[in-house]
Amino acid sequence: MARKKNPGSKLSRREFLALVGTGTSVMAGAGFLTAKFSRRPVEQLIPYVVPPEDYIPGVAAYYNTVCNLCPAGCGITVRIREGRAKKIEGNPAHPVSQGGTCALGQSGLQVLYNPDRLQTPVTRRGERGTGDFHTVGWNSALTTVASHLDKLRLANRGAGVGLLTGDIRGHLDDLLIQFLGLMGSGRYLQYAFTNPTNLYSANAASFDTAQLPYYDIANSDFLLSFGADFLGMWVSPVSYSRAYGDFRQGRREGEDKGPRRQRGQLVQIEPRMSLTGANADIWVPAVPGTEGALALGIAHIIAGGAGRFAAALAEFDPPRVAEISGVEASTIERLARSFGDAKAPLAIGGGGAAAGTNGVPNLVAINLLNHLAGNIGREGGVVFNPKPAFGRTGMQRHGSYLDLLAFVEEIADVDDGVLIIAGTNPLYDFPGDERLVRALQRIPLVVGLSSFMDETMQYADIVLPVNSYLEGWGDDAPEPGVGMRVASISQPVVAPLYDTMDVGDVFIRLAQRMDRDMQRAMPWPDFHAYLRNAWRRMYDKRRDKLDYVDFDAFWTAVLEAGVWGETRRASQRNEFHAQVDYEPPVHAGNDVDYPWYFQPFVSQGFFDGRGANLPWQQELPDPMTSIVYGSWIELNPRTANELGVDEGDILEVSSPAGSLRAPVWITQGIRPDTVAMPIGQGHTSFGRYATGRGANPLSILSAQVDSRTGAFAWGATRVNLTPTGERIRFVKTGGWSRTLDRQILGPRSGETQEGGDHG
């Protein structure tokens, strides 16, 4: 073809071929590359250099150990693959958990894998409380502490060394006592505000026992619970939830078949409806702190003016009790009749009923009901636990609010005091903490043992990172147990992820760095060896009764089963030693400036606040409100009307001790004169998931204490509410909580709930 004048419209042959050539090769290249990149990327197959000895890749192993996220001591089974913990379930063979765990127990993996775990020892660089730390090696950290302790000990000034822990049981407790004893110090205190100090004290007064009894809910048929949220987080929630199932189905404990008896009836007496209250047949909102009067009123009717307590009960006739407690006289009579007529009635007390300034008298009054019903030491009643297989009971270990304050201030007063803090966080849950902080500031050396840099650790000089409970050794005789003598060994289910140590190991290592006497007195290579020794002694004592070839066989069997114990329940006579009397509750704040009772409650997800750094717990909808992530304050609709606020409106909540801000949640499950807030949020230092989220109701409580025990009375403060004009939208899973007569559940039958049409 001849070339034309217009070059723009036609290509020359050469140009055409060049274009076709380039185009073809570009397209072929594109095809080639598309084929290459659309193929699944080449993967490698990386073998072990040395094969693992103790597992088969791809095959799960299950190890039994003990959950220590709350004092219940449930046995758990952890699924492990390739040396990594994957899932926690209850150990079916463990009598406390019987295969169950609570939500917090499930989240134990997030304690283990928490990105905010302390991974190396740190020492303070800045001012106390500023969180300015830098990392050091174990060697230098331990040597610093050990040389300090050694100096004090050799100068006979070891008595100024104190140890503050949360709830440490089993043989670790023994080891710590021994260490302090060698230092010449008896200063050892366990404090957590949820420790049931008043319950111990009331039971000691009533039944002369230093242990918590087991409340045999399963075999009872009428349960009168004064504020004990046993389906939530009270004392041993997994065990009691299980028992509640049997109770409701009218089965004998643990039996699937066999004759049914009547379905048990549950009455919950509490000013704010808890999860247990929502499950009750009758919910009775009494004035906070007056539960004791109500119990005595019921006792008055049951006793009918006769018996040992006639005189003490005389003045508690229904009209008077109605006036005190705000519960109608007819209701009191009805409750007394049901309680008196039941075959196996049972009364329990906890939560708000035990958290006033009159916690002990309230609980004693509740115990009296059990005595009058003749159910002490009986099936379906108050079953006493046999002496634990080892260790001290909580009554012997725990200190009260006042004890803690005195404890820390005393150490501050001695020259060269040392305070070692492990596993408790009083600067989060201790109101009036300025006094505590002031005392802490005066102590020359504060050593913390912890997995997280929580509020209290901010005030330590040296923080030593300890193993999570899934990485370390330990043992436990659960309290309250289930009326049987039970013990478990807590074993590491995975190797420690970081450079951490067992609490027991820290003390053994410290002793090894001190002078010869210390070294000789604590000769074990590690805590595991100490523990084995202790169990060997137990084995030797019972050798004849135990059916094992030798100690090793016994030890292995306990490790495998996750629990060891007897299945016989002790019986006990129906004794009751206490004097009963009603003591009116004292609330901080007058009722003019602070018109509302303030009832913080232990939340299901976070317990006393320790669960707030676990994302699963943050995401867990609260069972009563379905709210996730935040804090809220619960108001009766009437209160909300009075204040002119609606759901999500932010209130300023002020008490004589301080103020906070929280959004409104309106519910009919609360008295109009009471407002309530969940405990657990509002951390100022507890890792990325907890810090700065929500508000901490404990922070505005007045330093009220129980009149008998000095235990922290966290239900004895009044507040005022002021709308701020701001509002938020709750993050929640639930919708509208009322049926609006749509008959969604069909017509109601049987029992009705008092105090509103909630649900």
Partner 1 sequence: MSVSVREALGAFKPAAIAVGIALAAYIAGWVAYEVFFPGTAPVQPIEFSHVIHAGDYQIDCQYCHIYAARSTTAGVPAVEKCMGCHKVIATDKPEIQKLTDYWNSRQAIPWIKVHDLADFVYFPHKRHVQAEVACQTCHGEVQTMARIERVAPLSMKWCVGCHEEREVENGRDCWTCHK
36 touches which of ligand SF4, partner 1, none (CB within 5 to 8 A by kind)?
partner 1
Secondary structure (H, E, C), 79-127: EEECCEEEEEEECCCCCCCCCCCCHHHHCHHHHHCCCCCCCCCEEECCC
In the list partner 1, ligand SF4, none, the entry touching 43 (Cβ below 5 to 8 angstroms by class) is partner 1
CB of 40 to partner 1, least distance (A): 6
The CB-of-90 to partner 1 minimum distance in angstroms stands at 24
Select from ligand SF4, partner 1, none the partner in contact with residue 29, using the beta carbon and a kind-dependent cut-off of 5 to 8 Å.
partner 1
Q: Which does 46 bind (CB under 5 to 8 A by kind): partner 1, ligand SF4, none?
A: partner 1
Contact 707, 358 (CB under 8 A): yes
> Under a CB-based contact definition with an 8 Å cutoff, are residues 313 and 368 in contact?
no
Closest approach of partner 1 to the CB of residue 497, in Å: 21
Neighbours of 740 (CB within 10 A): 8
Alpha-carbon gap, residue 514 to 521, rounded angstroms? 11
Distant-in-sequence, close-in-space partners of 449: CB < 8 Å, separation ≥ 6: 420, 421, 422, 423, 463, 464, 466, 503, 506
CB crowding 386-419: b at 16 or more within 10 Å, else e:
bebbbbbbbbebbbbbebbbebbbebbebebbbb
DSSP string, 356-425: STTHHHHHHHHHHHHHHTT-BTSTTSEEPPPPPSSS--HHHHB--HHHHHHHHHHHHHSTT-EEEEES--
Binding mask 445-484 for ligand SF4 (x = CB under 6 A): ----------------------------------------
Neighbours of 545 (CB within 10 A): 7
Stretches 35-43, 67-75, 418-426, 687-695: which one binds ligand SF4 (CB under 6 A)?
A: 67-75
In the list 78, 80, 85, 102, the residue contacting ligand SF4 (rule: CB under 6 A) is 102
The site partner of 73 among ligand SF4, partner 1, none (C-beta below 5 to 8 Å per kind) is ligand SF4
Cα(546)–Cα(507) distance, integer angstroms: 32
- Interacting partner of 237 out of partner 1, ligand SF4, none (Cβ under 5 to 8 A depending on kind): ligand SF4
- Indicate the residue among 14 and 545 with the shorter CB distance to partner 1: 14
Beta carbons within 8 Å of 454's beta carbon, 6+ residues apart: 425, 427, 428, 683, 685, 686
- Pick the closer one to ligand SF4 by CB: 72 or 510: 72
DSSP character for 307? S
| Residue selected from 64, 65, 67, 212 as contacting ligand SF4 according to rule CB under 6 A | 67
Could you tell me which of 195, 198, 234, 224 has the C-alpha nearest to residue 358?
198
Q: Which residue matches tokens 């300034």?
A: 357
**Dist. CA 317–CA 297, nearest whole Å:** 6
Instruction: Choose between 29 and 250: whose C-beta lies nearer to partner 1.
Output: 29
Render the burial of 519-537: b for 16+ CB within 10 Å, e for the rest. Answer: eeebebeebbebbbebbee
Residue whose CB is less far from ligand SF4, 74 or 436: 74
Q: How far is the CB of 103 from ligand SF4 (least distance, A)?
A: 8
* Residue 69 touches ligand SF4, criterion: CB under 6 A: yes
Q: Is 104 in the site for ligand SF4 (CB under 6 A)?
A: yes
In angstroms, the CA 444 to CA 43 distance is 57
Instruction: Give the Cα separation of 109 and 104 in Å (integer).
Output: 10
Smallest separation (angstroms) from ligand SF4 to the CB of 606: 11
Residue 140 phi, psi (nearest 5): -70, -40
Which option in partner 1, ligand SF4, none does residue 199 bind, with CB closer than 5 to 8 A by kind?
none
User: Which of ligand SF4, partner 1, none does 69 bind, CB closer than 5 to 8 A by kind?
Assistant: ligand SF4
Please, which of residues 194-253 interact with ligand SF4 by CB under 6 A? 237-238
> How buried is 478 (Cβ within 10 angstroms: 0-12 exposed, 13-18 middle, 19+ buried)?
buried
Shortest Cβ 77–ligand SF4 spacing (Å): 12
Among partner 1, ligand SF4, none, the one that 305 touches (CB under a kind-dependent 5 to 8 A) is none
The one segment of 100-108, 246-254, 409-417, 642-650 that binds ligand SF4 by CB under 6 A = 100-108
Question: Distance between CA atoms of 441 and 424, rounded to whole angstroms?
Answer: 18
Applying CB under 6 A, the span of 96-104, 489-497, 614-622, 721-729 interacting with ligand SF4 comes to 96-104
Q: Which does 67 bind (CB under 5 to 8 A by kind): partner 1, ligand SF4, none?
A: ligand SF4
CB 185 within 8 A of CB 161: yes
- How near is the Cβ of 133 to partner 1 at its closest, in Å? 35
From the list ligand SF4, partner 1, none, pick the one residue 238 interacts with, judged by a Cβ distance below 5 to 8 Å according to partner type: ligand SF4
- Going edge to edge, which strands form the sheet with 222-226? 282-284, 265-269, 222-226, 345-349
Residue 70 interacting partner from ligand SF4, partner 1, none (CB closer than 5 to 8 Å by kind): ligand SF4
User: Which among ligand SF4, partner 1, none contacts residue 224 (Cβ within 5 to 8 A by kind)?
Assistant: none
Min CB(517)–partner 1 separation in Å: 44
Options 65, 74, 94, 172; binder of ligand SF4; rule CB under 6 A: 74
> Residue 102 binds what, of partner 1, ligand SF4, none (CB under 5 to 8 Å, by partner type)?
ligand SF4
Cβ nearer to partner 1, comparing 55 with 548 = 55
Evaluated on CA atoms 608, 613, 614, 617, the torsion sign reads: positive
Long-range contacts of 712-715 (CB under 8 A, 24+ apart): 712/193, 712/355, 712/400, 712/401, 712/430, 712/431, 713/355, 713/356, 713/357, 713/359, 714/193, 714/355, 714/600, 715/288, 715/289, 715/351, 715/352, 715/355, 715/356, 715/597, 715/598, 715/599, 715/600
Q: Which does 101 bind (CB under 5 to 8 A by kind): ligand SF4, partner 1, none?
A: ligand SF4
Range list of H helices, 113-213: 138-154, 170-183, 197-207
Task: In whole angstroms, give the CA distance from residue 352 to residue 598.
Answer: 10
Minimum distance of partner 1 from residue 63's CB (angstroms): 18
Nearer to partner 1, 5 or 36 (CB): 36
Minimum gap (Å) between residue 11 Cβ and partner 1? 10
Binding stretches for partner 1 (CB under 8 A)? 20, 23-36, 39-40, 42-51, 56-59
Least distance to ligand SF4 from the beta carbon of 63, Å?
A: 16
Q: Which stretch binds ligand SF4 (CB under 6 A): 95-103, 321-329, 545-553, 636-644?
A: 95-103
Q: Tell me whether residue 57 or residue 658 sits nearer to partner 1 (CB atom).
A: 57
Cβ proximity to ligand SF4, 622 vs 706, nearer residue: 622
The residue behind tokens 């247990």 is 276
Cα–Cα distance, 623 to 241 (Å, whole number): 14
Residue nearest to ligand SF4 (CB): 105
In the complex with ligand SF4, the residue whose CB is nearer, 237 or 349, is 237
Based on the shown chain and the rule CB under 6 A, indicate whether residue 70 belongs to the binding site for ligand SF4. Answer: yes
> What end-to-end distance do the CA atoms of the chain give, in Å?
91
Kindly determine how many residues on this chain lie close enough to bind ligand SF4 according to the rule CB under 6 A: 13
70 vs 183 by CB, closer to ligand SF4: 70
Give the pairing type, strands 188-190 and 161-165.
parallel
311's contact among ligand SF4, partner 1, none, with CB below 5 to 8 A by partner kind, is none
In angstroms, what is the minimal distance from the CB of 219 to partner 1?
41
Return residues touching ligand SF4 (CB under 6 A). 67, 69-70, 72-74, 97, 101-102, 104-105, 237-238
